[in-house]
Amino acid sequence: MKIFSGLIFLLSATISTFGFEARDADSAFKAYNNNFYVVSNNLGHYKKNTDGGRSDFWTQAESIEMIEDVFERNGDTNAQRMITESINDFTNHYGVDWTKNEFNDDLIWMTIACARGYLATGNSAFRDLAKHHFDAVYERAWDLTLGGGLFWKTDNASKNACVNGPAAIAACFLSEICHDQSYLAKAKAIYAWERNSLFNPDSGAVHDNINLAGHIGRVTFTYNEGTFIGAANYLFKLTGETNYLSDALLAANFTRDKISNGKNLPVYNFGDGEGFNGIFLRWFVRFANDNHLWPQFYDWAASNANAAWSVRRADNLSWQNWNSPTPDATLDSWACSDAVVILQVVPTKMPEKK
């Protein structure tokens, strides 16, 4: 590995690259779809892996968000069509009421996907799905145990960052698409609880959970940092209160400097973790874009994008380990989503301040 001007260039036996381009984002998405996307009768979903199967509830939701990232980058009508296909396939498979699922975070991930789907397509059914399921989660998961916050599961055993950060984002979306300020109040309350209970304002770490005994699980993951950043950034947009920006900046610096040690994002080799970095990137890049923070973050973000694209295999599919070439083997769709997301969201050159 050689580093020049903060950009990482990796050479493999079959592929070399010297900087990602806009067309590479299209190529990565096309390769991902060629390997994983299944469409029939105007319904589409992603396979679990290159051998077949079907992605599970929450990773299917996040795959829909990946399609929405593509649409937001280029306004592509094919991606817009796929958003409709995939949300309709989701409801065809799971129905229009998902409250039998005990994982509150699962419902919230799909709530965000539906809210973004409404913004992309104008289909009010997607907005209604988002509203219904946020309301259901809030009703069953929020209480004043531990000072507030949402429970992770219906067993009410712990309150976790993986539901509270995304729920604050979902509530921000709903405050805008439903024109209802009560959702903004909920977003602020959920965020305040997460900040007070799981966030370290000295380091920027977002801890994973707190149980009923008050024990904090202090492990940190990129996706929790990302949704905390996303919620803070959205709340700043809606309120103008600068304390949210300060929190988000701390979390972004912590992810870059501590979790990633200033290098590539970490490699998560366990099931759910394999797509964590894509979630982080989605919300971190919005924060950097909205507040023109690229002078301090662009080299790191671009080096990760270059690394993701440089390890691709011959069919342009990249896995989540950006430190070694993607193998010609069975690959999980979730593990390959990070590379698609980063190429959609990170600009090919540092944006100029407007």
pLDDT digits (tens, 9 = 90+) for 172-193: 999 999 999 999 999 999 999 9
> Nearest CA to 301 among 246, 334, 260, 251?
260
pLDDT at 343 over 90: yes
Q: What is the mean pLDDT of residues 142-165?
A: 98
Answer whether residue 113 is part of any domain.
no
Looking at residue 8, its pLDDT comes to 31
Position 210 in a domain? no
In a domain, 135, yes or no: no
Number of alpha carbons in the 13 Å side-chain half-sphere of residue 322: 28
What's the mean pLDDT in 298-320?
97
Residue 201, in any domain of the structure: no
**Predicted confidence band at 99 (pLDDT cuts at 50, 70, 90)?**
very high
The span from the CA of 292 to the CA of 297, in Å, is 10
**pLDDT, tens digit (0-9, with 9 covering 90-100), for 101-111:** 999 999 999 99
Percent of the chain with pLDDT over 70: 95
Mean confidence (pLDDT) of the chain? 94
Question: How high is the pLDDT of residue 9?
Answer: 30
pLDDT of residue 353: 77
Would you state the pLDDT for residue 303? 97
Mean of pLDDT values over 206-229: 98
**What pLDDT, on a 0 to 100 scale, did the predictor assign at position 19?**
80
- What is the structure's pLDDT at 128? 98
What is the number of structural domains in the chain? 1
**What pLDDT is attached to residue 10?**
32
pLDDT band at 352 (very low <50, low <70, confident <90, very high): confident
> Please, what's the b/e burial string for 286-300 (b: 16 or more CB within 10 A of its CB; e: otherwise)?
bbbeeeebbeebbbb
Average pLDDT of the residues in 231-256: 98
Q: Which has the closest alpha carbon to 87: 49, 53, 129, 145?
A: 129
The answer to the question of residue 109 being in a domain is no
For the cut 70, the answer to whether the pLDDT of residue 62 exceeds it is yes
- Which pLDDT tens digit goes with each residue over 36-47? 999 999 999 999
Q: What is the domain range of residue 347? A: 1-40+290-354
325 pLDDT higher than 50: yes
Specify the 3-state DSSP secondary structure of 44: strand
pLDDT at 354: 67
Q: Which pLDDT does position 179 carry in this prediction?
A: 98
What pLDDT sits at residue 316? Answer: 98
Q: H-type helices in the chain, by residue range?
A: 22-36, 57-74, 77-94, 104-121, 124-141, 161-177, 181-198, 222-239, 243-254, 276-291, 294-310, 333-345
In a domain, 236, yes or no: no
Matching residue, tokens 């909205």: 290
pLDDT at 332: 98
Q: Is residue 27 part of a domain?
A: yes
Residue 305 lies in a domain: yes
- Closest by alpha carbon to 268, among 306, 220, 303? 220
Rounded to an integer, the average pLDDT of 109-128 is 98
Quote the pLDDT of residue 221: 98
